[in-house]
Chains A and B, each alone.
Chain A
Amino acid sequence: MINSNARTLLDIRGLTATVAGVTILKGIDLTVRAGEVHAIMGPNGSGKSTLAKVLAGHPAYEVTGGTVLLEGKDLFALAAEDRARAGLFLGFQYPVEIPGVSNSSFLRLSYNTVQTGRGRDELDPLEFDDYVREKMKLLEMSPEFLDRSVNDGFSGGEKKRNEILQMAILEPRVSILDETDSGLDIDALRIVAGGVNKLLSADNACVLVTHYQRLLNYITPDYVHVMESGRIIKTGDKALALELESRGYDWLLDGGTSASAKAAA
């Protein structure tokens, strides 16, 4: 919901970043206020996922310029774990498997670390169990997920549900969901999107990185941004996403570049 008086949660100015010496982000500007849902679309290789990982602090990426403020705080002054504690959440496109570590232990440690970072009390295992089971209902997850190892042997859909479960538990200010819709069948998409919708409020915000407008049928964006070659080249509302679906990206790009050929593939 757009409210121009709402607080700015995430403020990105002139962000540039490289990976292995190659510049991927070439100057990103983006302002996300409380209550807003932003969708970032664009062809493969345009830098969408890189933006998500740079914000969360992935060590493979180097920030070479620009500033990012999270609720007024310099994001890049924080280590990755401190960004999470400060209220940033990244929903992974490919959540990693961690054999041997039970999901319940992982979730509880994560929750308690983040709570402590926010100056709140930890929950003991029994209290946490009640808390997490309540959150799991949002995503129609069976409690047996708690006893399994983190993402180990999970199907694609189960992994994505587990990501949104973590979002539900950690109650972040800004959630960046990187292709949360990929690999989901239509039922799973409905459940995952429904979960995200229930978590959205006037106090938090969400940035959806996606290839397809399909997700946006379930989670309505206030803004749709198109990324290409490391820049945001166009911003619009939900109508832009529909237009992209019918027309592709080519009309936004200059000429038949290799990037547009990739996008068509």
Chain B
Amino acid sequence: MSSTAIQELVNQPYKHGFVTDIESDTAAKGLNEDTIRFISAKKNEPEWLLEFRLKAYRHWLTMTPPAWSNVKYPEIDFQNISYYSAPKSKKKLASMDEVDPELLKTFEKLGVPMNERAALAGVAVDVIFDSVSVATTYKQKLADVGIIFCSISEAVREHPELVRKYMGSVIPVGDNFYAALNSAVFTDGSFCYIPKGVKCPMELSTYFRINTQDSGQFERTLIVAEDGAQVSYLEGCTAPKFDTNQLHAAVVELVAMDNADIKYSTVQNWYAGDEKGVGGIYNFVTKRGLCKGVNSRISWTQVETGSAITWKYPSCVLRGDNSVGEFYSVALTNHYQQADTGTKMIHIGKNTRSTIVSKGISAGHSNNSYRGLVRIAPTATGARNYSQCDSMLIGDQCGANTFPYIEVRNPSGKVEHEATTSKIGEDQLFYFQSRGIGAEEAVSMIINGFCKDVFQQLPMEFAVEATKLLGLKLEGSVG
């Protein structure tokens, strides 16, 4: 009865599972140095970038996939993946009007504002379809204040000195297995540069879409905020339903100089596989922000609802004195989804502060783990961290784990960790029902209450989307 209501609620069908019928230019499966040269040549890249890729590839060959995380999956055959797929277009597009109507329809279906609606919403959007950035809106208005917001391919062509300076500066090519793979084969992504003293006048947003069945998506995002700059960046992800698994291995690097402020929000809704655990995206992502300057701040907020496997630890390296790192996360897993996600807060500068708020919700047969590292280096005098990791279980077939790692090497460091586990049970739902509130609304209210601390951090439109995504209704729970 009531448990069925919970099941129905968390089992809402995946709405973004359609495939767009569009011709694409896809590379043959397999990975070797020739594949990398092919990608680099396709994109007309300078020699230094090809070298960057090859160096990463050679390093990758010496590495093995990480085995420490709490996820299980069959060995990935990296030779059975296509590393480049792009929607075919005859010529370079001059404006949004020339974008393939099939593509526009796709994003229309996804609710991505790409044209006038973007203007109304006041959001600048860069759209990545399979491997290629297909459209960036609002560019001129941003350029007027000196902000560069474009695809990473375009940035390589137009601003090579910036890309060369910062790419790989936060996540070196050999950082980990999947970051090395990304560095070798990344195809596109977003680049954003906020010059000194500029406060970005609108939210910047990237939508990622995987469309082709056997292609991997390896995008790369680089955001640099100069002294005193401020930016809020949103990322959304969807994919069609396939009964095979697609690999997504992204790298996101953020650099914040003195007094700069970067807020990075993600609503991840990749296809999660069906109720038997068939299909879905393998999401192996490396995200790291460097608080390079004094008083800088980097804030990660993520709502992870999709993917068959989520392996993701958005981190902050707090090098500048008084810099601040934040991580707010909601991870929802259902059916046979597996999530091993969390953060790393590396305190190097003096009086650095970090906050971690993680909310894991597990339903069905899923497994949801928080894994987090707080490291206070010997130099980080006066550093402080506060971590709160809460888990909620729906039903009794799912699992939740918390793996906190704490390393304090400076006696003045102060680290606090709190963790709770709760369960939506029959009695809780009955209590709501006996007050006239139906089970569905009850679950919404409980989950919304549970996630409140994280949703508050999201920009307004994303908060709405995230709330909807979790099957929540705001009515009655705000105020």
Is the C-beta of B450 less than 8 angstroms from some C-beta in chain A? yes
Query: What is the chain A residue whose CB lies nearest that of B438?
Result: A81
Q: Which of A99, A109, A117 has the largest number of chain B CB atoms within 10 A?
A: A109
A60 and B2 alpha carbons, distance in the complex (Å):
10
1/0 per residue A95-132: CB within 8 Å of B? 11011111011101110111001000000010000000
Assess whether A109 is in contact with B437, with CB atoms less than 8 Å apart: yes
Within 8 A of A (CB), among B118-160: none
Assess whether B434 is in contact with A100, with CB atoms less than 8 Å apart: no
Assess whether A79 is in contact with B449, with CB atoms less than 8 Å apart: no
CB distance from B31 to the nearest CB of A (A): 46
Assess whether B449 is in contact with A109, with CB atoms less than 8 Å apart: no
A79 and B432 alpha carbons, distance in the complex (Å):
12
Main secondary structure of the interface of A (DSSP, over half): helix
Identify B431's interface contact among A83, A95, A114, A149, CB under 8 A.
A95
Q: For residue A79, which residues in chain B have a CB less than 8 angstroms away from its CB?
A: 433, 438
Q: What's the tally of chain B residues with a CB closer than 8 Å to chain A?
A: 28
Identify A101's interface contact among B1, B438, B477, CB under 8 A.
B477
Assess whether A101 is in contact with B445, with CB atoms less than 8 Å apart: yes
Is the C-beta of A59 less than 8 angstroms from some C-beta in chain B? yes
Q: If A96-B427, A99-B450, A100-B446 touch, does A81 touch B479 (CB 8 Å cutoff)?
A: no
Identify B434's interface contact among A80, A99, A149, CB under 8 A.
A80
Assess whether B431 is in contact with A92, with CB atoms less than 8 Å apart: yes
1/0 per residue B434-445: CB within 8 Å of A? 111111010001
In the complex, number of A-B residue pairs with CB atoms less than 8 Å apart: 90
Assess whether A110 is in contact with B437, with CB atoms less than 8 Å apart: yes
Is the C-beta of A136 less than 8 angstroms from some C-beta in chain B? no
A104 and B479 alpha carbons, distance in the complex (Å):
8
Q: For residue B2, which residues in chain A have a CB less than 8 angstroms away from its CB?
A: 59
Assess whether B436 is in contact with A96, with CB atoms less than 8 Å apart: no
Q: For residue B478, which residues in chain A have a CB less than 8 angstroms away from its CB?
A: 105
A215 and B426 alpha carbons, distance in the complex (Å):
30
Q: For residue B476, which residues in chain A have a CB less than 8 angstroms away from its CB?
A: 105, 108-109, 112
Query: What is the chain B residue whose CB lies nearest that of A102?
Result: B449
Q: For residue B427, which residues in chain A have a CB less than 8 angstroms away from its CB?
A: 96
Assess whether A81 is in contact with B433, with CB atoms less than 8 Å apart: yes
Within 8 A of A (CB), among B242-298: none
Assess whether B477 is in contact with A59, with CB atoms less than 8 Å apart: no
Q: For residue B450, which residues in chain A have a CB less than 8 angstroms away from its CB?
A: 99-100
A106 and B427 alpha carbons, distance in the complex (Å):
16
CB distance from B59 to the nearest CB of A (A): 45
Is the C-beta of B69 less than 8 angstroms from some C-beta in chain A? no
Identify A117's interface contact among B434, B436, B439, CB under 8 A.
B436
Q: For residue A166, which residues in chain B have a CB less than 8 angstroms away from its CB?
A: 435
Assess whether A96 is in contact with B449, with CB atoms less than 8 Å apart: no
Is the C-beta of A56 less than 8 angstroms from some C-beta in chain B? yes
Is the C-beta of A40 less than 8 angstroms from some C-beta in chain B? no
A-B contact pairs, 24 of them (CB 8 A): A58-B430, A59-B430, A81-B438, A81-B439, A84-B433, A84-B436, A89-B434, A96-B428, A96-B431, A98-B431, A101-B446, A101-B449, A102-B449, A105-B445, A106-B435, A106-B445, A108-B476, A108-B479, A109-B437, A109-B441, A109-B477, A113-B435, A113-B438, A125-B479
Q: Which residues of B contact A (CB under 8 A)?
A: 1-2, 422, 426-428, 430-439, 441, 445-446, 448-450, 452, 475-479
8 new A-B contacts, CB < 8 A, other than A56-B430, A60-B426, A100-B450, are: A59-B1, A59-B430, A92-B431, A99-B449, A100-B448, A101-B449, A108-B476, A114-B435
